[in-house]
Amino acid sequence: MPIKWSALRVSEAMDMAEEFVNQAAEPLEQAKIVATEARNIANLPQYIDQDLVRFISEIERAVGGGQWKSIGRLRASIGSVRKAIPEGAIEAEQEGARQGNQLALV
């Protein structure tokens, strides 16, 4: 039975989503670095340091074992979508596009 939805478009959408997820990881790491460095400012009041520690902790809450848990979960979700695409469906769709789309008689 032919697939009525586009496995190729789903795969392309996941490629785009993964790229956005990858782009999100870097700014979070940079924010953590900046906040950590801010804690070294001379004569920093303790109440400011506490707020910086809380901010860093919020960023690190997503971190476990050196991996960004939230980012990792998003990547895992993308992987789940990709695994749900029937094996060979993308290749069959690409081949059909190369040969010219033909209507399937159902």
What residue segments make up the domains of the chain, in order of their start? 7-99
The residue among 94 and 26 whose pLDDT is bigger is 94
CA distance 94 to 100: 10
What's the whole-model pTM score?
0.64
Cα separations in angstroms, 90 against 4, 13, 54, 104: 12, 13, 46, 16
Look at residue 27 in the predicted model and tell me its pLDDT.
Answer: 85
| pLDDT at residue 103 tops 60 | no
In the predicted model, what is the mean pLDDT of residues 82-98?
A: 89
Chain CA centroid to CA 63, Å = 14
Q: Is 74 helix (H, G, I), strand (E, B) or coil?
A: helix
Q: Kindly report, residue by residue over 64-84, the tens digit of the pLDDT.
A: 445 567 777 888 888 999 999
